[in-house]
Amino acid sequence: MKTSNFKNKNTTNNIFPEALPLMVDKKLKEYIKGYKNVPEKLVKPLKYCLLSGGKRFRPVLSLATAISLGYNPEFVLPAACAIEFIHSYSLIHDDLPAIDNDDIRRGKPSCHKKFGEDIAILTGDALFAESFNIFLKYQKGTPDAKFQALSEIASASGVSGMVAGQIVDIGSTDSKISKRMLEYIHINKTARLISASVVSSAILCGAKRHTVKQFKKYGLYIGLAFQITDDIIDIKSSSLISGKTRGKDQVQSKNTYPSIWGLDKSKIIAKENIDKAVRAIDKAKTNSGLLKNIAKYVLLRKA
């Protein structure tokens, strides 16, 4: 499926490649449509949460990685969607009353507000299970590449990734933590899965070890910048723009980059990480215009 002269007509003029989230949305809908013998009680919240919009940042990164390596993005679409399933599950569980207790997500009632806590817990569980099912059922590639890619995704989600970051995060609410600990939280809670979106795609597209290493760095840097800008958006944006409850971090005494470094310094750190991401991707020596644009978009986004 390698198409070295692949061109995505909508990707060159815009800083965020708008054609790619549409591809993701279409495929996600297809997957959900395939749930023929699944109880309606489960399909409904799955649809509600998974198809509620969003920039599809993680899967877009997977697709952009494939494009930068001369592949048709369709090739990594199952893996990309699998990661969006994981992201969606993590949002549902994070929003639960026992964790972040957030009533709004993407401008709508969060899953537990709409369907109840029991359904929200189980919908998250279902999305997590289905992420693996989708990858195992639909992702093509050499067996070695598929195992490695899936390992990257699973590892980024577990005790050395997302859950670890989240558990340290909720444990440090209401207490002052070190800058190093804050970085640990942001890297694990957010950057690991963002990086896995890039790395799993690079592996599936047969990138060499050196290239994968640079992609990994790129992913971690933009992942960290993404969470820092998330912290900034939480303070600055109205909930109408961000789709979330404004100032929630401050109310909950969460440790964030602005709360520990101040707002201006946080912007500088975000910018530094984006610069590092761009340098890393330059070293990968691939067709990286799209990935650079996405890196720049992280600094400019409003939601």
Choose the binding region for its own copies from 39-47, 102-110, 196-204, 282-290 (rule: CB under 8 A).
39-47
What is the smallest separation between the CB atom of 128 and its own copies, expressed in angstroms?
6
What is the smallest separation between the CB atom of 84 and its own copies, expressed in angstroms?
16
CA–CA distance, 203 with 192 (Å, rounded to integer): 16
The nearer residue to its own copies, 8 or 101, going by C-beta atoms, is 101
Contact flag: residue 210 with its own copies (CB under 8 A): no
Phi and psi, residue 109, nearest 5°: -55, 135
Candidate residues 117, 176, 275, 279; the one interacting with its own copies per rule CB under 8 A: 117
Residue span 74-113 as binding mask against its own copies, x where in contact by CB under 8 A, dash where not: -------------------x--x-xx--------------
- DSSP secondary structure letter of residue 19: H
**Residue ranges of the alpha helices (H) in the chain?**
19-33, 40-50, 57-68, 77-95, 111-115, 117-138, 143-157, 162-172, 179-186, 192-204, 209-236, 239-242, 248-251, 257-261, 263-283, 289-300
* DSSP per position, 62-80: HHHHHHHTTB-GGGGHHHH
Residue 272: CB atoms within 10 Å: 14
Contact 266, 232 (CB under 8 A): yes
Choose the binding region for its own copies from 168-176, 234-242, 268-276, 294-302 (rule: CB under 8 A).
168-176
CA–CA distance, 199 with 217 (Å, rounded to integer): 9
What is the smallest separation between the CB atom of 105 and its own copies, expressed in angstroms?
16
Contact flag: residue 177 with its own copies (CB under 8 A): no
What is the smallest separation between the CB atom of 122 and its own copies, expressed in angstroms?
5
Candidate residues 23, 76, 150, 284; the one interacting with its own copies per rule CB under 8 A: 150
- Contacts with its own copies by CB under 8 A lie at 35, 37-39, 41-43, 46, 93, 96, 98-99, 116-119, 121-122, 124-126, 128-130, 132-133, 136-137, 143-144, 146-147, 150-151, 154-155, 157-164, 166-168, 170-171
